[in-house]
A and B are shown apart, each in its own frame.
Chain A
Amino acid sequence: MIGERLYRDVRLGVKTLLLHKMRSILTMMGMVFGVGAVIAMLAVGEGASKKALDEIRRLGSQNIIINSQQAVENSGQNSQRIRMNIYGLLYADLERIQSSYDTVVRAVPAKLIRSEGRVAGRSQELRLVGTTPEWFDLVQREILAGRQLLDRDVEQNANVVVLTEHGARKLLAGRTAIDTEVLINQGYYKVIGVIKSESTQSGSMQTPDQNIDAYIPLNVAIERFGDITTIRGNGSRSRELVELHQLIVEVDKREHVESTAASIERMLSVFHPKGDFRMSVPLALLRQAESTQRTFNIVLGSIAGISLLIGGIGIMNIMLASVTERTREIGIRRAIGAQRKQIIGQFLIETVVLSMTGGLIGIGIGLLIPWIITIVADMPTVVTPWSVMLSVVISVGIGIIFGMYPAMRAANLDPIEALRHE
């Protein structure tokens, strides 16, 4: 019964609006572009931040990553002599971190060595990562074939290697990966597993994994490569002594991450006065990115609010004109026996139909734009369901809020005066 009435009322509203198609369309424009812009902008913003946040999250929000870096005064030397650069994290640092912090669950070391891998005449530049099996617990990767490094590989000093999907494809060219022997620096390493590549690398952060990584047991790396590497530049040669290139520290709780990081940094600074290490705390970056996103959302929300407000005022303006224009109609309806609330209902329904239709078209446009942006500009966009739902609610709300005043004006007309209106 109520449904049938509402259907009749809505149909009447639509019919009335269709009498002035052009006017109705122009009136809706404010809502169309307001809602469309909101959804599209949110989708682009969300897409950009999701990409950044995913990257940071992948590093582990409970982790602290410490990288070795050349101290400033050591770099930029242009000597022809062979000289030795000594810098970076020490084996002793690893032990200090492992033993002196209650909040540290574990600290996983890595040696990073550039070397070439060969299989049956093919060669590929690799980044050897000498690490412990725990690396795979901290930086979780999908295992595509075989297995990850295990404690027994370490115990047996086994010449084994885990490749990334990307590296395996380059090196093996479609051949079965597992059990293939890869020649690296005059030693043969048996491929025991392939893990998924995580190719994204943000410029500012030295991520713990790369496309061309090949994981070998840390003790094998130390034994085979030692701590000294020779770097050949154009005409110059330099040598580096680095014990550990990277430490990933896992903290027991999120709440302890920042304090632990600060305290480790203080401790390391004592042993490394030259500052030949760099710490990155994914959680802090995450927080920062999230707060940037929040600010972005607030700014967007305000712009959206203003444009919707303007859309609403536009609708109200037209509805007020419509009430004046239809004064006689209102008088006729009242004389026949329509109550005030029925007149209010009639005009409110018209405004809501206007604003909601505008809103729905706006949603259509708001979905279309991110889709086009993704295709044309290859930018990630994420349309969140809540932005669409919010848009529907807001367009109905705008219709009711900005329709109320014109509708009340209509309902409060004196029927006698209204009937006399020309």
Chain B
Amino acid sequence: MSFDSSQRSNSDTVISLEQVWKTYRMGDQDVHALAGVDLEIKRGSFWAISGSSGSGKSTMLNLLGCLDRPTSGVYRLEGQDIATTSDDELSDLRLSYLGFIFQNFNLIQQLTVQENIELPLFYQGVDASEAAKKSRSLAERVGLADRMGHRPTELSGGQQQRVAIARALMNDPSVLLADEPTGNLDTATGDSIMEILTELHDQGKTIIMVTHEPEIAAHAQHELVMRDGKVASITQNNATAGVPA
């Protein structure tokens, strides 16, 4: 099996989960981190996943992010079943279809802002001048064009998260995955990050965000609540400004 980044299904559905289980064996006991999840995520939708600690949010995001495989069930990303993929193919899927935004930003300290942003294209083998052009335009988009040569440590938390967003957009991902993107930021800065995400959604990006803060979750179209590895509820959030249902 091989994946081609240019090959995107033209279907409305980006992600579909059918009876997905993720079971960890702890001693002689099975822990079902995911216990039969069914889910369909349409292109261009904005999802918030919430739930109490231990409910399976992180496991879910890792799975959606192709960092892990389900124990059973079917996970399709852009129509491709990832059940039997090799480690290298999972890497290719992440490189082609996914962008990650983390709670603690996860920039590489010894690289400059520009080099951090260009990382996905570095692994795609895109040549340097093309990568530089693209990183510049994305840096402009998140308002950091004048910080390209700086190190992450020279930036504030909000600025670092913007760099991380620019990096996540570098490969034109099908899905942006954000794990508590405002968790390490003060309210004002967090709001500005949410503004960027909302803007990206308005421009048609598919976003899946894990958060435990209701105010943050309120930015999303769909609010999925997990409990004991299961989908407890899905709420449509029609209050989201300017988003057609």
Contact = CB atoms under 8 A, between A and B. Distances in A.
Contact of B91 (A5, A329, A339): A339
Interface in A323-348: 328-329, 331-342
Secondary structure class of chain A's binding surface, majority of residues:
helix
Contacts of A335: 65, 67, 94, 100, 106
Contacts of A4: 127-128
A19 interface: yes
Interface in A179-196: none
A328 B171 CA distance: 21
B106 A416 contact: no
A78 to B, nearest CB: 88
Interface in B104-151: 106-110, 119-120, 122-125, 127-128
A8 interface: yes
Nearest to B170: A336
B31 to A, nearest CB: 15
Contacts of A15: 110
A331 B105 CA distance: 13
B106 A5 contact: no
Contacts of B65: 335
B68 interface: yes
B36 to A, nearest CB: 21
Interface in A1-49: 1, 4-5, 8, 15-16, 19
B125 A338 contact: no
A397 interface: no
B108 A332 contact: yes
A6 to B, nearest CB: 12
Interface string B190-226: 0000000000000000000000000000000000000
A8 B127 CA distance: 10
B88 A339 contact: yes
Given A416-B62, A419-B102, A337 B95 contact: yes
A340 B110 contact: no
A413 to B, nearest CB: 12
Contacts of B62: 416
The interface centre, meaning the residue of A16, A329, A335, A339 with most chain B CB atoms within 10 A of its CB, is A335
B154 interface: no
A314 interface: no
Nearest to B93: A337
The interface centre, meaning the residue of A337, A338, A342, A416 with most chain B CB atoms within 10 A of its CB, is A337
Contact of B106 (A1, A337, A340, A419): A419
Interface size of A as a range:
20 to 34
Given A4-B128, A5-B125, A333 B119 contact: yes
A124 to B, nearest CB: 76
Contact of A342 (B106, B123, B127): B123
Interface in A302-335: 328-329, 331-335
Nearest to B108: A329
Contacts of B68: 416
B106 A334 contact: no
Nearest to A335: B100
Contacts of A328: 106
Interface in B59-73: 62, 65, 67-68
Contacts of B87: 339-340
B30 to A, nearest CB: 19
A333 B106 CA distance: 10
Contact of A338 (B102, B110, B123): B123
Given A19-B110, A329-B108, A336 B119 contact: yes
B88 A340 contact: yes
Given A337-B120, A339-B88, A339-B91, A332 B128 contact: no
Nearest to B125: A5
B120 A336 contact: yes
Contact of B94 (A5, A336, A341, A416): A336
B120 A16 contact: no
Nearest to A16: B110
Contacts of A339: 87-88, 91-92, 123
B16 interface: no
B108 A337 contact: no
A338 B91 contact: yes
A336 B127 contact: no
A5 B123 CA distance: 10
B110 A337 contact: no
B95 A336 contact: yes
A128 B236 CA distance: 119
A364 interface: no
Contacts of B96: 337
A337 B92 contact: yes
Contacts of B108: 329, 332-333
A16 B112 CA distance: 12
Given A4-B127, A329-B108, A337-B91, 19 more contacts: A4-B128, A8-B122, A15-B110, A19-B110, A332-B106, A333-B108, A333-B119, A333-B123, A334-B91, A335-B94, A335-B100, A336-B95, A336-B123, A337-B123, A338-B123, A339-B88, A340-B91, A416-B67, A419-B67
Interface of A: 1, 4-5, 8, 15-16, 19, 328-329, 331-342, 415-416, 419
Task: Give me the 9 closest cross-chain CB pairs, A-B, nearest first.
Answer: A337-B95, A337-B94, A339-B91, A332-B106, A339-B88, A19-B110, A415-B67, A335-B100, A337-B91
27 contacts: A4-B127, A8-B128, A15-B110, A19-B110, A329-B108, A329-B109, A332-B106, A332-B107, A332-B108, A333-B108, A335-B94, A336-B119, A336-B120, A336-B167, A337-B91, A337-B92, A337-B94, A337-B95, A337-B124, A337-B171, A338-B91, A338-B123, A339-B87, A339-B123, A340-B87, A340-B91, A416-B68
